[in-house]
Every structure is written in C-alpha cells, then in structure tokens.
Chain A
Amino acid sequence: MARGARAAGTAPARRRQHLPSVQLKFVMAVTGAVMLLYLVLHMIGNLKIFFGAEAIDSYSAWLRTLLEPALPHGGMLWIVRVVLLVSVIAHIVSAVVLARRARKARPVRYAHRQPVQGSYAARTMRWGGVIIALFAVYHILDLTTGTVNPNGVHGAVYDNITASFDRWYVTLFYALAVITVGFHVRHGLWSGLQTFGRSNAATQNALKGFALVFAVVLTAGFLSVPFAVVTGLV
C-alpha cells in the first residue's frame, strides 16, 4: 500500500468533478453506438449503387417517404439528422473534456517511454475523431446539400456520386477518411462494450475479434462504392 504518513507536499488541489469520467464514457459509448447504427444502415444503403442508377435514386426518394403520412415528407430523415447531430455534439464534447482531463493528469511527460500495448487504433482515437468530423462536414456539403458537388442535382444521387468520385483526390480523401472510421470503430466498439461492462476475462478476446471484423466489414462496404466508380463497375 502506498504510504499515507507523508506530508502532502505539493499534492494538487482536489476538485470535485460534476460529471465523473466513467459517466462521460457512457455518453461516448451511447452516442458512439447511435452513430455506429447509422453507419451500418448508411453503408448497406450505399450498396444500392450496385443495382444501378435507378435503384439508388429511388432508394433516396423512398427514404423521404418513410412513415408518411404519419410524418410529413422527409420527416423521418430530419428526425435522424437531429438525433445524429445531438450524438455528434455530445460525443465530441465528452471527448474534449476527457482529453483535457487526461492531459492534466500527466503534467510532466516521461523522458523515455514507448507505448507497449495500446494499438494504433487506440492511440489515434482523438486525432482520428477530428479527421472524421472534418470529413463529415465535407461529405454533407458534397452529397447531401450538393454545394461542393460538380453535379449537385438534388435526387440525382447516382450522378452526384460518380461526378464526385471521378476526381482522384476526392476518392483518395474519401478512402482515407473511411479507413480512419474503420480504425475508430475497431477500438471504439470494443472500448464501448467494456464501458457498458460487457467484457470479462472469458469474452474479452472474442469482443476484440468481433470489433475488428465489424470494422473491416463496415470499411470494406464503404470503400466498395468509390472502388466501383473508379473501376467503372457501376
């Protein structure tokens, strides 16, 4: 046991935190799960492009009719957007608070220390998150609002996608961003399960394996679209 008899010296001022870090991690895990669910549906929806222009355009139109007439046209889409926006904000705010606490918790760095265990994915959660957020902004301006899309016609989903991916640098950026999402999900999914208290000695490796497979399938699904456009498959 650490000795207690010593004078406190320069022990830092104790500060009661209103939101414990454990609780902020629940916020990250819940909002991460919401975004993850959306990503899965989004990825599956994107695969419609393999059935032709008509299939993906009408899929996009159909999304706007969801729960009509209970909801107005496009109502469901707006509900999803609001839920996602709230999730993204809560996720980022929690991440910033936790990152600042982590920095304060280690004010003096080691002269000599390499990480021995943490995976690449675990170490890039914070910067990876920033890249994903920037990509999401560009992605919305490109394919949702059409603002920066060379075609930019509402409802002409297929034409917008192919117009965008006909530029190699956009395709490259998209691919890098999606791979970043893959890394983020690989560590995030496992970490979230641990946050929810779902891991134990017997299941830990299975959960890590599950997160890896999940991330690879998700990333491959998202990458298949620009791959198909670039190779002329669709």
Chain B
Amino acid sequence: MRLHLKVWRQSSADAKGKIVNYDVDDASPDMSFLELLDVLNEKLALQGDDPVAFDHDCREGICGACSMVIDGQPHGPEKATTTCQLHLRHFRDGDTITIEPFRAGAFPVIKDLVVDRNAFDRIIQAGGYISAPTGSAPDAHATPVPKANADRAFAAAACIGCGACVAACPNGSASLFLGAKITHLGELPQGQPERHSRVRAMVEEHDASGFGGCTNTGECAVACPKEIPLDVISQLNRDYLDARKAGRKGA
C-alpha cells in the first residue's frame, strides 16, 4: 500500500522543527506502525538523509516507549493499542497520516518524535513506590488482599507510563498517570503506610514539572492504551484531600 506521511522533523532540542512530507510506496497492511517508520528510515538512510528518530523498545505494548501522536491521537486511532501494536491494515491505501511528537511543556522534544519523559520518573521517585526490605520474596499468602481491591489495583497497575494521557489532555495534565499510581498502591495493604506522604509528594512533583491541572474532560482515558479508567483521578483527589486533613491533625 501507498501512504503519504507528514512527519515532525526537529534536528535537536533547540532547533525549530517543521512537518516534512514523505511517501512510502511499499508498505504492507501487516506491518506495524513502527515497521512503517523502519521502512521509511531505511529509505532515508540509503539516500544519505537523517532517519526519523522515534522511541521504541519492546514493540509488544508493555514498555511504553513508543510515543507519538498519529493523526491527532496519541498511539493512533485504535482503542487500547500502543503505536507498536497498531497495524497498517487500520489505514487505507493512499491515506495521508500526520505524525507528531507528544506535545507538553514537561515533555520537551529531544529530536524528531523523541521526547524527554524524565518528568514521569521524577514523579515516581517522589512517591510511586513502597518502602519494603527486599531480599527473599515474601510468602504469597502472607498478606491477604480482598478480590475487589486486588482487581482495581491490577487494573491501575497496567499503566505503562507512556505519557499518552498527557499528550491527549487539553491541559497537559498527567492526572491519569498520577491517579493510576495512587490507585495501584493505595488499594493494596503494602501501600498504606506511605499513602498520605505519597500523594502529597507526587502531586507536588507533578505540578513542579509543569503539568497542568485536570478538568475532567476525559480525553486521557480514551487515549490510554491500557484503558486506565477516569475514576482513578477521583481516587487521587480523594486521597489528596484525606492526606491534607490528616496533615492538619498532625498525623
């Protein structure tokens, strides 16, 4: 199949970028979207041009590296699909496809489609963990977890930290990511001791990194390749409120 690509090219963080047009004539419907870019890059390399830089790693939807906005949608038009899992059969022969990097002040472009997502790592460092002695694994049944909590924690833990929620949000907010981490750890017994300090530290880091506030429009949950539900943001707000109350009581 033939595809017309409009790709954001930016040679470095400080350079001014622009959309550049490319034609790929030998794409196959069975290719993944990243393979399409591989084919384009091979062609560019043979011509002596600079290949399009893009992030990728696992190519099976679990690492969250493959960040790009395809025709206006982070990870493209398919529901619950990362870019690496998106196949060209969802496009038509002759289609024009616009490919841009995730746009957020907190995710500055490094080159072409590659953005710096260190802000997410800083948010995790601020509180997205439990403090526990590591070493031998504990007995699986040592701490019982009710089924409903386990299910909700598991659904939230599916977040791969890709940043599509930020890319989709009209406010450039990372609230869905934040809510996913808060819910994941907050539903489990191991997450309780640090529950209050966690939410305060993560919210503070989120804002310091320059992410915007949530207006509950719900764009994030639609874009999320792991279908993290919007109500994790409600959980985040609730936990933050509880933490502030506890803080005032000096707890």
**Cβ of B37 under 8 Å from chain A:** no
User: In the complex the two chains form, is B71's CB within 8 Å of A112's CB?
Assistant: yes
Residue B64, interface by CB 8 Å: yes
Verify A22–B213 contact, CB threshold 8 A.
Answer: yes
Q: A6-B118, A11-B108, A20-B207 are in contact. Are A102 and B218 (CB under 8 A)?
A: no
**A75–B6 Cα gap in the complex (Å)?**
65
Among A2, A3, A191, point to the contact of B215 (Cβ < 8 A): A191
Q: Report A-chain residues with C-beta under 8 Å of the C-beta of B230.
A: 194, 199, 204
Query: Which residues B211-243 have CB closer than 8 A to chain A?
Result: 211-219, 221-223, 229-231, 233-241
**B 88-144 contacts with A by CB, 8 A:** 98, 100, 103-106, 108, 110, 116-121, 124
Within 8 A of B (CB), among A107-143: 107-119, 122-123, 125
**Is B180 on the interface with A (CB-CB < 8 A)?**
no
A125 to B213, CA, bound (A): 14
Q: Mark A136-160, 1 if CB is under 8 A from B, else 0.
A: 0000000000000000000000000
What's the Cα separation between A204 and B237 when bound, in Å? Answer: 15
Which of A2, A21, A110, A114 touches B213 (beta carbons < 8 Å)?
A: A21
**Interface core residue of B19, B72, B110, B231 (most chain A CB under 10 Å):** B231
* Complex Cα spacing A106 to B170, Å: 8
Cβ distance B175 to chain A, nearest Cβ, rounded Å: 8
Q: Does A24 contact B (CB under 8 A)?
A: yes
Q: A10 interface residue, CB < 8 Å from B?
A: yes
A201 contacts the other chain (CB 8 A): yes
Report whether B116 and A9 are in contact in the complex, using a CB–CB cutoff of 8 Å. yes
- Please give, as numbers and ranges, the residues of chain A lying within 8 Å of B100 by CB-CB distance: 110-112
> Is A22 within 8 A of B234, CB to CB?
no
* CB atoms of B237 and A106 under 8 A apart: no
In contact, A6 and B110 (Cβ under 8 angstroms) = yes
Contact across chains for B216 and A190 when beta carbons are under 8 A apart:
yes
Is residue B208 contacting chain A, with contact meaning CB distance below 8 A? yes
Known: A1-B121, A4-B121, A201-B231. A22 touches B211 (CB 8 A): no
Chain B 151-182 interface mask (CB, 8 Å, partner A; 1/0): 00000000011110000001111000000000
Contact in complex: A115, B212 (CB < 8 Å)? no
Q: Which residues of A contact B117 (CB under 8 A)?
A: 2-3
Does any Cβ of A come within 8 Å of B246's Cβ? no
B49 at the binding interface (Cβ < 8 Å): no
Across the interface, which residues of A come within 8 angstroms of B8, CB to CB? 111
Q: Which residue in chain B gives the minimum CB-CB distance to A115?
A: B219
Contact in complex: A102, B171 (CB < 8 Å): yes
Q: Is A59 an interface residue, CB under 8 A from the partner? A: no
Residues of A within 8 A of B207 (CB): 16-17, 20-21, 101
A196 at the interface (CB under 8 A from B): yes
**Chain B interface: which size bin?**
35 or more
Task: Output the least CB separation between A204 and chain B (Å).
Answer: 6
- Is B234 touching A199 in the complex (CB atoms < 8 A)? yes
A26 CB within 8 Å of chain B: yes
Asked whether B98 lies within 8 Å of A2 as measured between CB atoms, the reply is no
Q: Are A1 and B106 in contact (CB under 8 A)?
A: no
Inter-subunit contact B212/A101 (CB<8 Å): yes
Decide: B105 and A1 in contact? CB cutoff 8 A: no
B110's nearest neighbour on chain A, judged by CB, is A9
State which of A15, A24, A187, A201 has its C-beta within 8 Å of the C-beta of B210: A15
Chain A: minimal CB distance from B223 (Å): 8
What's the Cα separation between A20 and B222 when bound, in Å? Answer: 25
Nearest CB of B to A208, in Å: 10
Instruction: Tell me which residues across on chain A come within 8 A of B103, comparing CB atoms.
Output: 106, 108-110
Binding site for A on B (CB under 8 A): 6, 8, 13-14, 19, 55, 63-65, 69, 71-73, 98, 100, 103-106, 108, 110, 116-121, 124, 160-163, 170-173, 203-204, 206-219, 221-223, 229-231, 233-241, 244
Given contact pairs A117-B222, A119-B217, enumerate 16 new A-B contacts (beta carbons under 8 Å). Answer: A1-B64, A14-B209, A15-B210, A17-B204, A20-B204, A23-B244, A25-B213, A26-B237, A102-B171, A106-B170, A117-B221, A122-B217, A122-B218, A194-B216, A194-B231, A197-B237
Q: What are 20 sample pairs from A and B whose C-beta atoms fall under 8 A apart?
A: A1-B63, A2-B64, A2-B161, A3-B117, A16-B208, A24-B213, A26-B237, A98-B213, A104-B105, A105-B106, A105-B210, A106-B103, A106-B104, A106-B170, A112-B98, A115-B217, A122-B215, A194-B231, A194-B233, A196-B241
